[in-house]
Structure formats: structure tokens, C-alpha cells
């Protein structure tokens, strides 16, 4: 009871802030029942004059509500399938910047996490240089076998887990209430959204997992000459502390700095696109938060990524899907694009492939009549998802995250080179992967893997035959002698029949059947 009251108070405060900042203006009243429409009108009476328009209102409200709500807004930006493409793009402007906590607190967190005094761990440990909702970063120096080295130390905010836990509980209560009050909103699955946010934040708050992400991406890209990531220092990393090599570079949105350093903006824009596609299609593992604040260019012109709290992963099926639809659009083979959707099981088979191809043609043909520098791959993917919604295509979170990241990556690349030709830039990566994995060589490799699997099955055949023989023998024994029940079970069945308790009889016979099945499995 007390917990429900606390959640109610927290949600009332959140509602007041949202209403005061004008964020409720983003709600379409026509989609609400009459009572909810009246409540919305009443709530908007306290709206602050000149609150702004668009998502600026929502961003300001979420920032006022604190770190949990800022993270919630950023999470919604990755789900255009829920909030809509326009709202998702607006929410991408939401900056995850929070006031830093004192250096002394960071020192205490590091000492507790690593179990040693700060002076034994580092030669120098700076004041915070960047702070976000979950953690902040310090610059430090350590002594290694090769000499002194500058490193970056990321420290989780004190009490952040407890704060997120409280806010997530209040969000769950609000989601359940929303589903009850507005039944039509259940299709948006608000409770599932909150649970997905909870899982995402739990992963992001364990910095050991972020270190593992850095390590995996570094291993995947070790042979890429134009891309690199920092190296994690495992001995100085724990759940609440992540230590990596320091990155000296120029942020990708610092165009003046890039030009002053004599770097090629056109080549750099091409690297941004091709690196992302290589990670997504070739490796199936990509940085899912590639905004300009997380991307640098070093003195050698290499792209450097940081902050690996949000990563995306694609299976072979999704990678093939992505490569083939991109190549299909490049070659204007709309029937193949449609077939790929059906082969992947993303569009139900009761729809017509030809009708779906016609809908996709409505997307592809207009963009092929425009100049290369006017074609937006992000817009293409957005339109594609809108069309597939008409054909009951199920939402796939990995593809939605991919689409969202593509929007951001394209924006970064076009900022560097406004005339970037997306098709020419993307085709080599897509074509090489398809030739390597779906061409003759790839089919030979797949056949080899299939033969190896078949060989394993053949090797297990003697053991499988013995198991089958034991099961058959047991079945013969059961057929000949029946299932033996102990006296207590028989007596209980008799008592139940005597009382006319049909449900009790059924339950006891189910128990008996379960015992028989368990016996069979034991012999198998």
C-alpha cells in the first residue's frame, strides 16, 4: 500500500513536470477516450507559456526529471516503431549531460571497486572531464612496462542503481495504469517498453560488459586500416570502473578542426559509412550509438569510436537480409527485395510477393530519379519499414536499432560531405560480403559445415540406436505388465472415486502419467 502511494506521488510529479513544460502537447487527443481527453485538457491548463514546440518540450521535461527519464527518452529514440519516426529523430537531440559529481566521490568509488588506494592505482587522477546520467569520465596516468601512459577512467555515479530502481518501479506502475485506462494503448506495450529499458540500463551499468564490448569490437576490426577503438585495461576495470587507453583526436562535428588538421572530409565521410556497414554486415556486431560525440578522428586520419554502452548484434539471417535488400535497391531489383523479406519470414506468407514488390517499387523508383547526393539511405529504410507495416511485418528490435543507427551514421557522414553518394559508398561493402558469403566460395564453406554436422550425427548413430532399443524394450514391458502404481496412489484414486471427486481423479491420473513419462526419460 505504502509502495503504491510512493509510486503515485512520483508519477504525479512526473506528470506535473511534463504538463508544465508542454510535453503533453505531443499527445494526439483523438486517439484517447473521452475521459482521457478531458484529463489532457485539464492538465494542459498549467502549461508554461512559450514552452517551445516539438520535442524541445519533451527534452526539457525529461532533463528536469533526472537521469532515469533522460535515459528513457534516449531509449525511445531507438524505437521509432513505437513513438514514430519524427518523434524518434527529435528525441535523438536529447543530450545525456548531467552535472558531474565530486572527484572525492569518484576516488572513493574507484578505491572500493578496485580494492586499492588511488595513489597506488594511478600516478594522476583528474577532475571529471565529462558526465552523463550513469557515469562520468576522468583522465589519469599509469606506469606500464613501456613507460607512462594516459588513460580514461569511467566511474559509475554513486547511488545510480538505487535511483534507477526507484524510478523504474514508478514507470512500471504508470505503464500498468496506462494500459488499464487506455485499453487501445496496449498495442504499444508500455510495460514491455519499461522492462526493455530496465534490461538495457542493467547492462549499461555493469562496466565489465562495456569492456567486453570494446574488446570484441577491437578483435573484429584489428585488420581495418581506417578504424580503431581504445584498448581496455582489465586490471583496472570492475563493475563500477572502466579503464581504457586515452583517445587523442578531433570530434567529427568539429569541421573547422578537421580542416585545420589537413584531414580529408570526403574520405572520412566514406569511412564512417563503410565502417558501420562492415561492422553490421561482416561482423554482425556494431556500435549502436554512433553520434558525433562518440566519434573522433586521430592524427593518422583513422576513425575512432568511444562509449560502448549500447551495442547492436545481428545474426547471419539478419545480415543476409540487410545486404540483399540494400543490393536489391542499388540494382533496382524490387522482386528480389520482396523475396528476401518472405524468405526471412518477416512478412507473413498469406501476402503476395508481387504485391509487396510493387509497394517497394513505390519507394525505390522516386529515389532513383534523383541525384546521388540527394538520396537518403536512412529515409529509404524508414520508408521501407512503413511499407512493411502495411504487410503485417513483425517488429524486429535488432533491425529497428540498425535503422536508428543508420539514421545517425548517415547524418554524421553527410555533415562531413554533404554530397556523399550513399550508393557508391555502400556498394563495395555490400557486394563483397554477398560474393564472399552467398557466392560459390560461401556455398562451398556452408556445404563443408553441413558435412561436418552430418558427420557428427553419423558418429552418434550407434548411441542413438542403443537409446531407441532401450525405449522400445521399456514400452514392451509397459504393454505387457502395465504401469505399476504404489499402494498409496491406488488407495488415493479409490478414495477420490468413492467421493465422486472427478477433478481429484483426473489430477491423480495425471500424476501417474507423469511418473510413467519420467520413467521413460530415465531409461532414455
For residue 89 the three cell numbers come to 529523430
Which is catalytic among the residues 81, 289, 307, 417? 289
Task: Return d(Cα 141, Cα 135) in angstroms, integer.
Answer: 19
**Cα–Cα–Cα angle for 106, 112, 113, nearest 5°?**
85
Task: Return d(Cα 169, Cα 4) in angstroms, integer.
Answer: 10
Residues in the chain: 524
Active site residue 289: yes
- 241-245 and 135-144 strand pairing: unpaired
Task: Return d(Cα 195, Cα 28) in angstroms, integer.
Answer: 25
Long-range contacts (CB closer than 8 Å, 24 or more residues apart) made by 411-415: 411/378, 412/252, 412/253, 412/269, 412/272, 412/290, 412/291, 412/292, 412/295, 413/269, 413/270, 413/272, 413/273, 414/269, 415/252, 415/253, 415/255, 415/292
Place of cell 513505390: 362
Burial 63-72 (b: 16+ CB within 10 A, else e): bebbbbbbbb
Task: Return d(Cα 308, Cα 452) in angstroms, integer.
Answer: 36
Q: How many CA atoms lie within 13 A of 76 on its CB side?
A: 24
CB 80 within 8 A of CB 395: no
What H or E segment, with its residue span, contains residue 139? Answer: strand 135-144
CB 100 within 8 A of CB 154: no
CB 412 within 8 A of CB 252: yes
- 135-144 and 147-156 strand pairing: antiparallel
Supply the residues annotated as catalytic: 289
Amino acid at each position: 500500500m505504502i509502495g503504491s502511494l510512493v509510486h503515485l506521488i512520483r508519477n504525479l510529479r512526473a506528470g506535473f513536470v511534463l504538463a508544465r513544460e508542454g510535453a503533453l502537447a505531443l499527445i494526439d487527443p483523438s486517439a484517447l477516450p473521452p475521459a482521457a481527453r478531458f484529463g489532457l485538457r485539464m492538465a494542459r491548463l498549467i502549461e508554461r507559456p512559450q514552452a517551445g514546440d516539438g520535442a524541445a518540450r519533451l527534452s526539457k521535461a525529461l532533463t528536469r526529471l533526472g537521469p532515469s527519464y533522460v535515459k528513457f527518452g534516449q531509449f525511445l529514440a531507438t524505437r521509432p516503431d513505437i513513438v514514430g519516426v519524427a518523434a524518434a529523430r527529435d528525441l535523438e537531440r536529447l543530450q545525456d549531460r548531467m552535472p558531474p559529481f565530486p572527484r572525492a566521490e569518484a576516488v572513493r568509488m574507484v578505491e572500493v571497486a578496485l580494492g586499492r588506494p588511488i595513489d597506488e592505482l594511478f600516478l594522476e587522477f583528474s577532475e571529471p572531464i565529462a558526465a552523463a546520467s550513469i557515469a562520468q569520465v576522468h583522465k589519469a596516468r599509469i606506469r606500464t612496462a613501456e613507460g607512462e601512459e594516459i588513460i580514461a577512467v569511467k566511474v559509475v555515479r554513486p547511488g545510480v542503481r538505487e535511483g534507477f530502481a526507484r524510478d523504474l518501479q514508478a514507470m512500471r506502475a504508470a505503464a500498468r495504469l496506462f494500459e488499464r485506462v487506455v485499453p487501445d494503448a496496449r498495442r504499444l506495450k508500455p510495460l514491455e517498453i519499461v522492462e526493455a529499458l530496465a534490461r538495457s540500463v542493467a547492462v549499461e551499468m555493469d562496466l565489465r560488459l562495456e569492456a567486453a564490448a570494446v574488446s570484441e569490437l577491437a578483435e573484429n576490426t584489428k585488420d581495418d586500416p581506417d578504424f580503431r577503438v581504445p584498448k581496455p585495461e582489465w586490471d583496472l576495470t570492475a563493475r563500477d570502473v572502466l579503464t581504457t587507453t586515452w583517445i587523442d583526436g578531433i570530434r567529427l562535428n568539429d569541421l573547422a578542426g578537421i580542416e585545420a588538421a589537413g584531414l580529408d572530409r570526403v574520405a572520412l565521410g566514406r569511412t564512417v559509412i563503410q565502417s558501420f556497414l562492415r561492422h553490421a554486415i561482416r561482423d554482425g556486431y556494431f556500435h549502436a550509438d554512433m553520434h558525433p560525440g562518440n566519434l573522433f578522428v586521430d592524427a593518422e586520419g583513422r576513425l575512432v569510436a568511444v562509449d560502448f554502452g549500447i551495442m547492436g548484434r545481428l545474426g547471419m539471417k539478419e545480415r543476409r537480409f540487410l545486404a540483399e535488400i540494400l543490393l536489391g535497391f542499388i540494382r533496382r531489383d524490387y522482386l528480389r527485395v520482396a523475396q528476401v523479406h518472405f524468405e526471412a519470414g518477416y512478412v507473413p506468407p498469406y501476402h503476395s510477393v508481387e504485391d509487396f514488390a510493387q509497394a517497394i517499387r513505390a519507394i525505390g523508383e522516386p529515389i532513383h530519379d534523383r541525384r546521388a547526393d540527394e538520396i537518403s539511405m536512412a529515409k529509404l529504410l524508414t520508408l521501407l519499414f512503413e511499407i512493411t507495416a502495411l504487410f503485417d511485418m513483425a517488429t524486429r528490435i535488432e533491425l529497428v536499432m540498425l535503422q536508428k543507427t543508420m539514421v545517425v551514421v548517415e547524418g554524421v557522414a553527410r555533415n562531413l560531405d554533404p554530397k556523399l553518394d550513399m550508393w557508391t559508398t555502400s556498394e563495395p561493402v555490400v557486394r563483397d560480403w554477398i560474393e564472399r558469403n552467398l557466392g560459390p566460395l560461401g556455398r562451398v564453406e556452408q556445404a563443408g559445415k553441413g558435412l561436418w554436422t552430418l558427420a557428427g550425427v553419423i558418429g552418434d548413430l550407434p548411441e542413438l540406436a542403443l537409446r531407441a532399443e532401450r525405449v522400445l524394450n521399456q514400452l514392451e514391458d509397459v504393454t505387457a505388465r502395465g504401469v505399476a502404481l504404489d499402494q498409496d496412489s491406488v488407495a488415493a484414486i479409490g478414495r477420490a472415486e468413492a467421493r465422486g471427486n472427478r477433478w481429484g481423479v483426473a489430477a491423480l491420473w495425471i500424476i501417474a502419467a507423469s511418473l510413467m513419462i519420467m520413467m521413460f526419460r530415465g531409461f532414455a
